[in-house]
């Protein structure tokens, strides 16, 4: 690995962790704590998880986009975007990144995350596309298959991306997903892909690591 002596060694490292099934609220609290405590030497991290059923509402989320929670917990969180659903069968990867020390802008970061999702889906023969002005990844037939929402604090990101692998999609009909009434969602299994949540999360981590490059250095991803 090449490195610039003026940069901390941590700038070139991504620590990948598969954390398995985790409740949403303590995971969010852990992300905030790490972000508040990190310094210039803190390595960047990707956390892969699968959540029990939960709706999360973005910081500027509008309550009318929650149509009927049907008893599913609703958490008001601090990421960008509107309401979304997390549940079993969905791969969620949280990106705890210091983008300021890498000289990335927020838009560039989002584009790289989206590109990593597109490359991940392609491994299973699925073509993902972007919709201008609507973060996340869609199918050519306009269904959404991946949602994205970040929080940036002091140049560092947390929250991340969700990829629908093989899940009960009905809860998405109880909301206006990401604030869009009538937006349909699909998962990889509906398109014939056979994969586990952990496999998809790990594939995303690999694809994002391949994009984790700046002048003078290449990424090292560590388990």
DSSP single-letter state for residue 80: S
Q: Match 């601090």 to its residue by tokens.
A: 78
| pTM of the predicted model as reported, rounded to 2 decimal places | 0.91
| pLDDT given for residue 134 in this prediction | 85
- % of the chain with per-residue pLDDT over 90: 80
What sign does the CA torsion over 106, 112, 113, 114 have? positive
Question: Which residue in 148, 169, 178, 201 is the catalytic one?
Answer: 178
Structure tokens belonging to residue 190: 């509906």
Q: Are 61 and 76 in contact (CB under 8 A)?
A: yes
156 carries an active-site annotation: no
| Res 82 pLDDT > 60 | yes
Cα–Cα nearest to 200, from 148, 150, 146:
146
As a whole number, mean pLDDT of residues 131-153 equals 93
The secondary element (H helix, E strand) that includes residue 152 is strand 144-153
Domains defined along the chain, listed by start: 9-212 (3.30.930.10)
| Res 72 pLDDT > 70 | yes
As a whole number, mean pLDDT of residues 100-111 equals 92
Q: What is the mean pLDDT of the chain?
A: 91
d(CA 210, CA 204): 10
Cα–Cα nearest to 8, from 34, 39, 45:
39
| pLDDT given for residue 3 in this prediction | 41
d(CA 131, CA 210): 23
As a whole number, mean pLDDT of residues 154-170 equals 97
Confidence of residue 98 (pLDDT cuts 50, 70, 90): very high
Structure tokens belonging to residue 199: 């496999």
d(CA 159, CA 177): 17
Ramachandran angles phi, psi of 120, nearest 5° = -65, -50
């Amino acid at each position: 690995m090449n490195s610039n002596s003026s940069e901390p060694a941590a700038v070139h490292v991504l620590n990948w962790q598969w954390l398995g099934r985790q409740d949403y609220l303590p995971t969010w609290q852990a992300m905030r704590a790490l972000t508040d405590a990190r310094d210039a030497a803190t390595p960047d991290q990707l956390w892969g998880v699968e959540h029990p059923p939960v709706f999360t509402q973005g910081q500027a989320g509008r309550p009318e986009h929650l149509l009927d929670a049907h008893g599913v917990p609703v958490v008001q969180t601090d990421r960008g975007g509107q309401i979304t659903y997390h549940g079993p069968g969905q791969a969620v990867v949280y990106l705890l990144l210091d983008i300021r020390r890498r000289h990335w802008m927020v838009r560039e970061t989002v584009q790289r995350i989206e590109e990593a999702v597109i490359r991940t889906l392609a491994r299973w023969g699925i073509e993902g596309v972007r919709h201008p002005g609507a973060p996340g990844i869609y199918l050519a037939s306009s269904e959404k298959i991946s949602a994205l929402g970040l929080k940036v604090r002091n140049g560092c990101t947390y929250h991340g991306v969700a990829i629908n692998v093989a899940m009960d999609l009905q809860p998405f009909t109880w909301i206006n997903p990401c604030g869009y009434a009538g937006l349909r969602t699909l998962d990889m299994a509906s398109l014939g892909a056979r994969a586990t949540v952990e496999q998809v999360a790990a594939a995303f981590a690999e694809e994002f690591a391949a994009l984790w490059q700046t002048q003078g250095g290449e990424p090292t991803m560590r388990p």
